[in-house]
Structure 1
Amino acid sequence: MELSAVTRRSAADEVHDQLLNQLVSGSAPVGSRLPSERKLAEALGVSRPVVREAIARLATSGHVEVRQGDGAIVNDVTRTGGLDLLPHLLVAAPDGAVVDPSVVRSVLEVREYLGPWIAEKAAARAADALAEPLTTALAAIEAAPNGPAQQAAALVYWDHLVRGADSIAMSLIFNGMRRVYEPMLGVVADAVAAAEPADRYRALSAAVLDGDATAARAAARAVLGGATDVLGGFLDEMEQS
């Protein structure tokens, strides 16, 4: 296992993230045993209680199983993890400069699938309350000088729609997806922005504010579907390279 000395954040947080990245990358295979607390503490330059806390957090998440006298056994994180795991799966290089195209694709697919539902519910449940925030957010999308700024404004726009949909479960899902999508902006923002022109957002706003749930669903599909199509070839090239 390749580990580095802890130099930032709280020690337990850093140890937790380093170990989780080892699990996600496959450096610690499913069914294998993590090194002992003593060995991890020495490798990481921290105390054993810090290591113990980090492992306890992994156990609470279900990523490892701590067995008395047998150490911490690695579980399949793709079966135990939630949306909090996606940022760790997204990064395909230690410095974060390269992302995993299969994860990018899955984020775009989920985004395209959930968006129409969100728009439909927002139109049905909160059309009147959304007039001011959607108008302001749409103006920011239209005025955005570049792709990253447009996509940042679009995230604010969708945040208003999610709140209007009035679903706590969807709000939490959106929060998790946003935390994953934001680090991707430097890679995909220009292409996504080109595939999601402001006129499609204007049509979406009109449908939502009219309270037309069916039209809102169709308009949201038109907004989000283009990005999945446009980026498909780009992601194929990344996967083949």
Structure 2
Amino acid sequence: MAWTPVVKRSVSGDVFEQIAEQVLGGELAVGSSLPSERQLAEALGVSRPAVREALQRLAAAGLVSVRQGEATTVLDYRRSSGLEVLPRLLLRGESIDPAVARSILEARLHNGPKIAELAARRVRREAARGGGTTPSAEAAPTPIAESAVDGELTLLHDSAERLVAESDPLTQQRIALEFWDHVLDLADSIAFRLMYSMLRAAYEPALAALAPIMSAEVGNGGAYRDLAAAIDAGEPELAAECARALLEPATTALIHALDGA
């Protein structure tokens, strides 16, 4: 007998999704007021606690303003929300919003080289810290292989080699995402890490659709090898240059494709 997994549904989650979609889609104008909790509960056929929980989530996401004793007001998410709304903005139903996709690509091209530069700078610092002279003439310097970044560099090189060996464009994209995960680990920047997490969440649902255009980039295993080598060598300027050379062609092609859509 075949069993079908039971999908647990959250009533408040469904309310949140419906209102969020209307706010982000512009059906609910900025500055407009939502119906009262009671009215929403009646219109949606749910309980008032479910509506209240959904409104709290909407407020936490920066989509509405909830004030005790006052109407719930729709906010301008461009000014009040964070990167967590990007996935919702990119995919509207089954289609991709070209303007949002362009902004994600521009951020990717701008941030990638800087992240690579930071990763190489960290490797350089670790090498200098481990390779410097010590007060004892008999004490040997600590090689970079023994530093905290060694495991991260190994994973970085492994991802590059897997890209060289892989031929499936969709799998290559997934490995490329892992590669950049390792670059971010080496960069050790919480701000860039959180930004990347949101950009990745927006990008991943469109992997299959982007595969034909991204194949030239993720199939260029040699470029990933070069970038990994530049980071491993602790060469920030070279790492940034390699990252830009890797990212720019596909980014340009994607933006041209979006402009023609």
After TM superposition, is the score higher than 0.5?
yes
> Contact (CA 8 Å) 2:88, 2:202: kept in 1 or not?
no
The one of 195, 198, 208 equivalent to 2:221 is 198
| Cross-structure match for 1:24 | 24
The one of 218, 227, 231 equivalent to 2:250 is 227
1:38-187, aligned counterparts within 5 Å?
A: 38-93=38-93, 97-126=94-123, 128=144, 129=150, 130-187=152-209
* Aligned-residue offset at 1:13: 2.2
Letter in 1 for 2:199: M
Letter in 2 for 1:18: Q
Structure 2 residue 233 is the aligned partner of structure 1 residue 210: yes
* Aligned-residue offset at 1:132: 1.0
> Contact (CA 8 Å) 1:147, 1:191: kept in 2 or not?
no
- Deviations along 1:107-140, whole A, 9 cap, x unmatched? 1110110001111111121375233101211122
Q: 1:8 to 1:31 in 2, by over 3 A?
A: farther
Distance, in Å, in 2 between the alignment partners of 1:171 and 1:139 is: 23
> Contact (CA 8 Å) 1:144, 1:153: kept in 2 or not?
no
Distance, in Å, in 1 between the alignment partners of 2:163 and 2:18 is: 37
Gaps of 5+ in 1: 1-6
Distance, in Å, in 2 between the alignment partners of 1:192 and 1:143 is: 17
SS at match of 1:71: coil
Letter in 1 for 2:109: E
Letter in 2 for 1:189: A
SS at match of 2:73: strand
Q: 1:187 to 1:115 in 2, by over 3 A?
A: same
Distance, in Å, in 1 between the alignment partners of 2:123 and 2:44 is: 51
> Contact (CA 8 Å) 2:62, 2:82: kept in 1 or not?
no
Normalization by structure 2: what TM-score?
0.82
After TM superposition, the structure 1 stretch with the greater mean CA deviation from structure 2, 151-160 or 132-141, is 132-141
* Aligned-residue offset at 1:216: 0.3
Letter in 1 for 2:27: S
Distance, in Å, in 2 between the alignment partners of 1:59 and 1:135 is: 43
> Contact (CA 8 Å) 1:8, 1:14: kept in 2 or not?
no
Gaps of 5+ in 2: 1-6, 125-143, 145-149
* Aligned-residue offset at 1:180: 0.9
Letter in 2 for 1:72: T
Normalization by structure 1: what TM-score?
0.89
- Deviations along 1:64-105, whole A, 9 cap, x unmatched? 122444421111011111110101111122xxx211011111
> Contact (CA 8 Å) 2:119, 2:231: kept in 1 or not?
yes
* Aligned-residue offset at 1:12: 1.9
* Aligned-residue offset at 1:186: 1.7
* Aligned-residue offset at 1:36: 2.3
* Aligned-residue offset at 1:224: 0.8
